[in-house]
Chains A and B, each alone.
Chain A
Amino acid sequence: MKSNISIQRTTAPIPSPKLKTQRYKRAKVNVQAWLLLLPSLIFLGIFTIYPIIKTIYLSFFHLNLAHHTPEFAGFSNYSELFSNKVFHKVLLNTFLFAIGTVPTSMALGLGMAIFVNKAIKAKGWVRTLFFYPVVIPMIAVANFWLFIYTPNYGLLDKFLHLFGAGAHNWLGDPGKVLPAMMFMMMWKQAGFLMVFYLAGLQNISTELYEAADIDGANAWHKFRKITFPLLMPTTLFVFIISLTNSFKIVDHIVIMTQGGPDNASNLLLYYIYETAFQFLDKGMAATLTVILIVILFVLSVINFISTDRRIHYS
């Protein structure tokens, strides 16, 4: 805890008394601030805000190969989706994928960080091995794993053959494909999350652990009462990252399964890609994008509210 003797300033002080100059200076600061923000806001406006608005607008129209000019459709795109079985599957897959990759990657990242934080043998190597998948593009990851998952002569099946386990069609079996992809995703991002946890761990002062040792706490106690609570801000950050990743990364689907078999590996963003660029149904693609935006928005809000309550700063 820093001492409170010097009052730390964090914003520019409000200029002094004379009213006219005060207003003039205020105005100057306002203009200055907005000019500084202008470049960022221009791009944010054109490529985030405007697209969201335009998409919401377009979702109320029919615009596809059968309708060359936009034709007002009210909520019919939405009601079509409501009864669209493929959409149901896609939505389910997307949630399953998030549930399957977020907690697992976070837990693994935390485990990796704790492990690497200790003075263990070959610490550098271990850290490298954990982290290197992060710098590889997803498309390369997909190539590697496509080969590993190939039935019969892929690495995984070759390995299982040693134990007499039969040939498995990891990517061709609707029941296996999603878990197979989840594992791949975890492989890719756990190392990234590990680094954030490492930063968080290093900010926890060792005195706390020493005090706990004196009190006779065991490893699990220490983790539960000290480590985990103090890592809450990191956990929040890491949660946002892995959650948005699970929604926005669909590169592997393009290369590995194109959504199949029978949409077992189809995720929402990929479905949007298919609808917009292969079926050329712009109205429907807009509708799907709106749904994705709403989901992300709602998740963020829930996230902020619930973790806001739990963070405590020492």
Chain B
Amino acid sequence: MQRVLHFCMYLVAIIWGIPLIWAIYTAIRPADQATSLKTDFHFTLNNFIEAWQTAPFGQYYINTILIVCGILIVQLITMTLAAYAFARLRFIGGTIAFLIVLIQIMVPVETLIFPNYMILSQFSLVDTKIGIMLPYFASAFGIFLLRQAFKSIPYELEEAARIDGCNLFQILRHVYLPLAKPTYIAFGLVSVSTHWNDFLWPLIVTSSVENRPLTVGLSIFAKSSETGAQWAEVTAATLIVIFPLLLAFFIFQRQFVDSFLKSGIK
């Protein structure tokens, strides 16, 4: 029985790999072969060159990197401060504050694209990178995660630091940040990949190439090519877009998964 199950799981793993392998296979063959039933194989990088030249993927890369880094940096700051407050301090209105954070867990930002768009247009922040970033600057998920991590750090360490005359920021820097590092890494990975892959929100916020991230650029490219159903170019473009994340993942795979395990998410 166990053998059968094992076999099934191996099969599942292979099935899981097929879409990517098929995409790579399509992208490295000449374009007109994509839909044919022939199996002869001619290697070509033309599709990638075509795709790269047709749409400004370089600019899209820069935009995406700026957006993702901007979001992460601010998130780290806001969530560290908030997590400390929730983890260590007793204060009035704590429950209310906590409820507000809870609301974002229940009603994720992505479902509020319509009202958030209206807010952006009120402040004339439509079609800006900062407009894309703003709703994500506070992360309820991060606050929760970090609060848990902070709580598991023995209070004695903070006490000792206080006796040494450290103020709050020094305490955070020397005590909490190092000890919660796995959590920060896990969160960072989640945040980067979530916002790298964000699509619907930047789609409605941006119109110009200077602010368009990779996902939106890819969709526009795919839509236009699909009018001729130019699959080879579309898969090539798709691979161009996902390549860095895949590469980072394959290289740092163990750390990726390990950091999740260590962060103590239960």
Q: Name A's B-contacting residues (CB within 8 A).
A: 8-12, 14, 29-30, 32-34, 36-37, 39-52, 54-55, 58, 108, 111-112, 115, 120, 124-141, 143-145, 147-148, 150, 153, 155, 158, 187, 191, 195-196, 198-200, 202-203, 219, 233-234, 237, 240, 244, 247-251, 254-255, 269, 272-273, 276-277, 282, 285-286, 289, 292-293, 296-297, 300
Q: Which of B42-50, B136-144, B173-181 contacts the other chain?
A: B136-144
CA distance A126 to B36 in the complex (A): 31
CB contacts between A and B, total, < 8 Å? 293
- Taking a contact as CB atoms under 8 Å apart, the answer to whether B16 and A129 are in contact is yes
Given contacts A12-B90, A285-B114, whether A135 and B245 have CB atoms under 8 Å apart is yes
Q: How far is the CA of A285 from the CA of B252 in the complex (A)?
A: 42
Q: Return the CB mask of B148-172 against A: 1 if under 8 Å, else 0.
A: 0001001110010000000010000
- 22 A-B pairs within 8 Å (CB atoms) are namely A10-B87, A11-B90, A12-B155, A34-B97, A39-B81, A40-B79, A40-B81, A52-B107, A54-B115, A54-B119, A108-B12, A128-B249, A137-B199, A141-B19, A144-B20, A144-B23, A144-B238, A155-B18, A199-B265, A251-B215, A292-B111, A297-B106
Cα distance, A148 to B12, chains bound together (Å):
17
Q: Is A244 touching B203 in the complex (CB atoms < 8 A)?
A: no
Query: A43 and B134: CB pair below 8 A?
Result: yes
Interface residues of B toward A: which range?
35 or more
Q: How far is the CA of A296 from the CA of B100 in the complex (A)?
A: 15
Question: When each residue 72-93 of chain B gets 1 if its CB lies under 8 Å from chain A and 0 otherwise, what string results?
Answer: 0000011101101111111111
Q: Which residues of B contact A292 (CB under 8 A)?
A: 111
Q: Which residues of B are found within 8 Å of A137, using beta-carbon distances?
A: 196-199, 214-215, 218, 241-242
One digit per residue, 1 when the CB lies within 8 angstroms of any chain A CB and 0 when it does not, for chain B 215-242 equals 1001100110000010100110010011
The reply to whether B37 and A297 contact each other, CB–CB distance below 8 Å, is no
Q: A30, A36, A46, A250 — which one has the most chain B CB atoms within 10 A of its CB?
A: A36
* Of the residues A37, A129, A144, A233, contact of B22 by C-beta under 8 Å: A144
CB pair A143 B238 closer than 8 Å:
yes
Q: Kindly provide the distance from the CB of A26 to the nearest chain B CB, expressed in whole angstroms.
A: 8
Min Cβ gap B106→A in Å is 4
Interface SS of chain B: helix
User: Knowing that A43-B137, A46-B119, A251-B200 are A-B contacts, what are 11 other residue pairs whose CB atoms are under 8 Å apart, sorted by A's residue number?
Assistant: A8-B154, A36-B84, A37-B82, A44-B138, A47-B135, A47-B137, A125-B13, A131-B256, A136-B246, A139-B219, A143-B235
The answer for the CA separation of A244 and B194 in the assembled complex, in Å, is 14
Contacts of A108 in B (CB 8 A): 12
User: Which residues of B have CB within 8 Å of A285?
Assistant: 114
* A129 to B14 alpha-carbon distance, docked (Å): 7
Contacts of B113 on A, CB cut-off 8 Å? 269, 272-273, 276
Q: A47-B109, A137-B241 are in contact. Are A40 and B82 (CB under 8 A)?
A: yes
Please determine whether B200 and A120 come into contact, CB atoms closer than 8 angstroms: no
Cβ–Cβ < 8 Å partners of A55 in chain B: 112, 114-115
Does B255 sit at the interface, judged by CB under 8 A? Answer: no
Q: Which 4 residue pairs are nearest across A and B when measured between Cβ atoms?
A: A51-B115, A137-B197, A43-B138, A9-B155
With contacts A51-B112, A140-B241, A144-B22 known, is A132 near B249, CB below 8 A? Answer: yes
> Which residues on A sit within 8 Å (CB–CB) of B143?
40
Name B159's closest neighbour in chain A (CB-CB): A9
Q: Are A272 and B114 in contact (CB under 8 A)?
A: yes
The answer to whether B104 and A144 touch across the interface, beta carbons within 8 angstroms, is no
A140 adjacent to B242 (CB under 8 Å): yes
- Which residues 15-43 in B have Cβ within 8 Å of A in the complex? 16-20, 22-23, 26, 34-37
